[in-house]
A = this chain, B = another copy of it.
Amino acid sequence: MTDNSPAPSRRSLLAVGGAGLALGAAAAGGAVALARSDGDDMRPAAAESGTAVPFHGAHQAGIATAVQDRLHFAAFDVKTDDREEFVQLLKDWTKAAALMTQGRTVGEGAYGGLAEAPPDDTGEALGLKPSRLTLTIGFGPSLFATYGKAFGIAGRRPEALVELPKFPGDNLDRTRSGGDLCVQACADDPQVAVHAIRNLARIGFGKVAIRWSQLGFGKTSSTTPDAQTPRNLMGFKDGTRNIAGTETKRLDEHVWAGGDDWMAGGSYLVARRIRMNIETWDRTSLQEQEDLFGRDKGEGAPVGKAKERDEPFLKAMKPDAHVRLAHPDSNHGATILRRGYSFTDGTDGLGRLDAGLFFLAYQKDVRTGFIPVQRSLAAKDALNEYIQHVGSAVFAVPPGVRDGKDWWGRGLFENAADAENAENGA
């Protein structure tokens, strides 16, 4: 009954370049002022969205990678203090991640193994394309604080991996904050992202457990140069001057961790669940909405300018405008790479949409990246009347897995016990 025959790989077909949809600005006809489409669609063409993103490299994929359409983010708590067991998990995860990101099943697959055993793969992504799946791991401060001694890594906590301060207005839900580990799964197909997190959680059974997770359905940032900036749930484009995945110099300057320790080539991730008071926002006048952002709603142009990408003249904006406060010029040059997603998690007990922005930002150092920007925003941003930060986490994201022998976190764990002993002795 079980079909064990090898299925043909479609990877070579899927890699065929994306001719895409030829979309122009021609055509017109009836009631054009009502047309929702007012620019090129920012979705990748089908052929593009189905391909596989290479798993191995100097940096982890999922940071500078062109932002995929969907997100499943999971924070895990560690449930073992056995160093070898935990290292084995990281190796097993790496192996599974390398397979899944290339559109393959875990282990012997969903139906290829012994009939008497649970399948190695849960199967719901069978028949789906790789969908540009990326899996990106991070280590939280609590991993070092709680398991530092047991795992022999206490002395290896990077200086830049600080706990975030409490910002004015924070209303953090502890059950949606923190985590010893995180995995960010991004893909153009949500079922592929959900499948990946589920299978990693399954491999980790008994060693780690999901602390919280977040689905994101619409990307709110682009890391593709000159692409249309997607809109957040306030209906605005935000983060126009985001770092593009091709801007090597800006990535080196603002995103990739330097130095020569285990974090070199890695990055630091800040995750914030930002709830929007959608219903209140929707009753705000267009003028006020535009003043609050410092942009116009249609084109996304900064105040007084014609086009989204025109250089903003900050002094033309109100002092508490979002674009003005978040701009590097207002924060001593602080620049972060944004990869956030819109979320809608049903409704709260009061019939209001539990919706907003799951903000994800990568940076070289949170102390010179997110923290100063958020201090400025939390203190002054006029948008604060319409948003609330309800979840928060920070992670050290190690560099990429170089090849089939390398594994997630090897630099942190390899010879770590020795390093630890040396430091303890000092």
* CB-defined contacts of A70 to chain B, threshold 8 Å: 190, 217
Q: Is A6 part of the contact surface with B, judged by Cβ < 8 Å?
A: yes
Q: Is A423 part of the contact surface with B, judged by Cβ < 8 Å?
A: no
* CB-defined contacts of A313 to chain B, threshold 8 Å: none
Indicate which residue in B35, B112, B284, B345 contacts A7 across the interface (CB closer than 8 Å). Answer: B35
Main secondary structure of the interface of A (DSSP, over half): loop
Q: Are B346 and A110 in contact (CB under 8 A)?
A: no
Q: Are B27 and A126 in contact (CB under 8 A)?
A: no
Q: Are A212 and B286 in contact (CB under 8 A)?
A: no
Minimum CB–CB distance from A224 to chain B (whole Å) comes to: 15
Q: Roughly how many angstroms separate A422 CA and B35 CA in the complex, as a whole number? A: 46
Q: Are A41 and B129 in contact (CB under 8 A)?
A: yes
Q: Are B31 and A297 in contact (CB under 8 A)?
A: no
Q: Is A285 part of the contact surface with B, judged by Cβ < 8 Å?
A: yes
Q: Roughly how many angstroms separate A21 CA and B6 CA in the complex, as a whole number? A: 23
Q: Roughly how many angstroms separate A191 CA and B218 CA in the complex, as a whole number? A: 6
Q: Is A424 part of the contact surface with B, judged by Cβ < 8 Å?
A: no
Q: Are B7 and A33 in contact (CB under 8 A)?
A: yes
* CB-defined contacts of A30 to chain B, threshold 8 Å: 9
Indicate which residue in B8, B103, B278, B301 contacts A26 across the interface (CB closer than 8 Å). Answer: B8
Minimum CB–CB distance from A273 to chain B (whole Å) comes to: 11
Q: Are A231 and B126 in contact (CB under 8 A)?
A: yes
Pull 24 A–B residue pairs with CB atoms less than 8 Å apart, ordered by A: A3-B301, A7-B33, A8-B27, A8-B32, A9-B30, A9-B32, A10-B23, A12-B29, A13-B26, A36-B100, A36-B104, A36-B105, A36-B109, A37-B103, A123-B234, A124-B231, A126-B298, A127-B228, A194-B344, A194-B355, A198-B355, A210-B351, A211-B347, A215-B217
